[in-house]
Amino acid sequence: MFGLGTTELIVIGVIVFLIFGAKRIPEIGKGLGGAIREFRQVKREISDIGEDNKDRGVDQEEGQKKPPALESKLTEKVIEQVPGVKKAMDVKKKIDKVKDIID
């Protein structure tokens, strides 16, 4: 798996355990699992929209709205589901507001 041996995976696991603690690891895993599930669902939806348009012979450039970018939807879902990322984004927004006020 990615050229990593057992020893390297154990070291990475111990580091993650020390950084996040035993209580946060299940929350992070749940959030990442939900994000992956949502990513697959969005990917399926976008591919279904593309297939429907191909079946009808409709070109997306002819005035139809393009489906939202896969990356933006995935980013939104990760931010919603992973606790640490959501807090970091909130802090970033507050910093941006302070910078706007200062400038």
Determine phi and psi for 38, rounding to 5 degrees.
Answer: -65, -40
* pLDDT value of position 84: 74
Residues of the chain falling short of pLDDT 50: 1, 60, 63
Q: What type of residue sits at position 89?
A: M
**Residue pointed to by tokens 């996040």:** 20
Q: How many residues does the chain have?
A: 103
Per-domain residue ranges of the chain: 6-102
